[in-house]
Homo-oligomer: A and B are copies of this chain.
Amino acid sequence: MALVVQKFGGTSVGDADRIRAVADHIARTRRSGCDVVVVVSAMGRTTDDLIRLADEVSSVQPPREYDMLVSSGERVSTALLCMALAELGVAASSFTGSQAGIVTDTDHMKAKIVDIRAGRITEALEAGKVPVVAGFQGVSTERDVTTLGRGASDLTAVALAAVLGAEVCEIYTDVTGVFSSDPRIVPDAHKLLRVSFEEMLEIAAAGGRVLQLRSGEFARNHHVPLHVRSSFTWEPGTWIVEEDDSMEQAVVTAVVHDVSQAKITVARVPDKPGIAARLFRALADRSVNVDDIVQNASVDGTTDISFTVPRTDLATAVEGVSGHLADLGATGVTSDVAIAKVSVIGAGMKSHPGVTATMFETLAEEGINIDLISTSTIRISCIVREEDVERAVRALHRAFDLA
């Protein structure tokens, strides 16, 4: 029998009515003749509430205890969903991450899965039951409760789909799929029926929020087809699949933007070996997540290095760089939060050289200045002023005929 893994996020199980609606959908999937394994997140904002409570209690939060705390929300949603399924006559059993055999390393709050011993899940399936697994959590090799990082319920679902050989991993969320651009900014953005893993990963990295980047990578590496769809309308969503020659490759698939980054520029860095390494080691030591890095050709033996970091890391990053200015031989550091990134993404770009030119022309026509440029084989990103970004997205969506 075909096996489907269905993952429901926090908004999908946000209250009693939503949980019953999800149970009803699972029951319908069963009746259609599929085996189903379910993965759920904590209800609504439960996890945020727990984190706030912890902040009220103590400024010292040992990671082991943090994981014990924030993993409790999924227990609640798995148990409630099993009760709702029982009312519909569907036999179901809840499993914590530990019971589901999600074995991780001991790196609390961002543990990596090292093994999946899905024996109890398989037994439940063989007994005709729907296993309902708590997302986002596992048990460490030291037998402690671990969590896999924010948003990692997707990862639990994808990993189980991979190990159980599921036909598809369905990621249910509060949007109907992946769009050619953010519909709140571009009213005629359309839902993509199918994108390649490569494109999806670039979309996620460029600021599209539909799928956790790490889960997308895991799905690609383990060949798990994903179907991102809505738990409110239940309509078919966007399939994320391996690229094959029969896929029609749009030159540009999506225009994505991101306003969560800030830019840092280190001025007049001596252009000699080892300087950049020293700079970014200082940032890595402070766990700052550096995104785009741009360094231009040197003039007079010095160069400027610019890079973007999440705005939440900006203070830490500037402080880290400032402490190393003398050491680096640089003259100063400046930062700018009022920036945004706009990216065009498309697997067909590889074989269509004109995309970069069209992008720059379009922005020029709109009078939008480009601050930094970075590219991959299927993505071109420009840093622009934050106040220009929505205009940039609309113009590019139009220019590449995505409506």
User: Which residues of A are in contact with B by a Cβ distance under 8 Å?
Assistant: 16, 19-20, 50, 53-54, 56-62, 64-66, 68-69, 71-73, 75-76, 78-80, 82-84, 86-87, 92-94, 96, 99, 120, 143, 145
> Which of chain B's residues have a CB closer than 8 A to the CB of A94?
64-65, 68
Across the interface, do A76 and B69 meet the contact criterion of CB distance under 8 Å? yes
Across the interface, do B76 and A61 meet the contact criterion of CB distance under 8 Å? no
Across the interface, do A60 and B80 meet the contact criterion of CB distance under 8 Å? no
A91–B314 Cα distance when bound, in Å, is 33
A252–B167 Cα distance when bound, in Å, is 73
Chain B: minimal CB distance from A58 (Å): 4
Given contacts A62-B86, A86-B62, A143-B99, contact A68 B79 (CB under 8 A): yes
Given contacts A59-B87, A99-B143, contact A82 B65 (CB under 8 A): yes
Please classify the interface of chain A as helix (H, G, I), strand (E, B), loop, or mixed, using the class held by over half of its residues.
helix
> Which of chain B's residues have a CB closer than 8 A to the CB of A86?
58, 60-62, 65
Closest to A70 in B: B79
Interchain Cβ contacts under 8 Å between A and B, 25 examples = A16-B56, A19-B57, A50-B76, A53-B80, A54-B79, A58-B80, A58-B83, A58-B87, A59-B87, A60-B87, A61-B86, A62-B82, A64-B94, A65-B80, A65-B94, A66-B79, A68-B78, A68-B79, A68-B94, A68-B96, A69-B80, A71-B75, A72-B75, A72-B79, A96-B145
- Complex partner residue of A79 from B56, B69, B79, B82, CB under 8 angstroms: B69
A205–B82 Cα distance when bound, in Å, is 36
Chain B: minimal CB distance from A267 (Å): 42
A361–B284 Cα distance when bound, in Å, is 85
A60–B75 Cα distance when bound, in Å, is 18
Closest to A134 in B: B68
Closest to A69 in B: B79
> Which of chain B's residues have a CB closer than 8 A to the CB of A66?
79, 83
A20–B82 Cα distance when bound, in Å, is 35
Closest to A139 in B: B99
A71–B76 Cα distance when bound, in Å, is 9
A62–B53 Cα distance when bound, in Å, is 30
A20–B120 Cα distance when bound, in Å, is 39
> Which of chain B's residues have a CB closer than 8 A to the CB of A73?
72
Task: List the 8 closest pairs (A to B, CB-CB), nearest first.
Answer: A69-B79, A16-B56, A58-B83, A68-B79, A60-B86, A72-B75, A60-B87, A65-B82
Chain B: minimal CB distance from A48 (Å): 14
A294–B71 Cα distance when bound, in Å, is 52
> Which of chain B's residues have a CB closer than 8 A to the CB of A54?
79-80, 83
Closest to A20 in B: B57
> Which of chain B's residues have a CB closer than 8 A to the CB of A99?
143
> Which of chain B's residues have a CB closer than 8 A to the CB of A65?
79-80, 82-83, 86, 92-94
> Which of chain B's residues have a CB closer than 8 A to the CB of A78?
68
Q: Given A65-B92, A72-B73, A72-B76, output 7 extra A-B contacts at Cβ < 8 Å.
A: A58-B83, A58-B87, A60-B87, A61-B86, A65-B82, A69-B80, A72-B72
Chain B: minimal CB distance from A145 (Å): 8
Across the interface, do B83 and A57 meet the contact criterion of CB distance under 8 Å? yes
Closest to A75 in B: B72
Across the interface, do A57 and B72 meet the contact criterion of CB distance under 8 Å? no
> Which of chain B's residues have a CB closer than 8 A to the CB of A96?
68, 145
> Which of chain B's residues have a CB closer than 8 A to the CB of A80?
53-54, 57-58, 65, 69
> Which of chain B's residues have a CB closer than 8 A to the CB of A68?
75, 78-79, 82, 94, 96
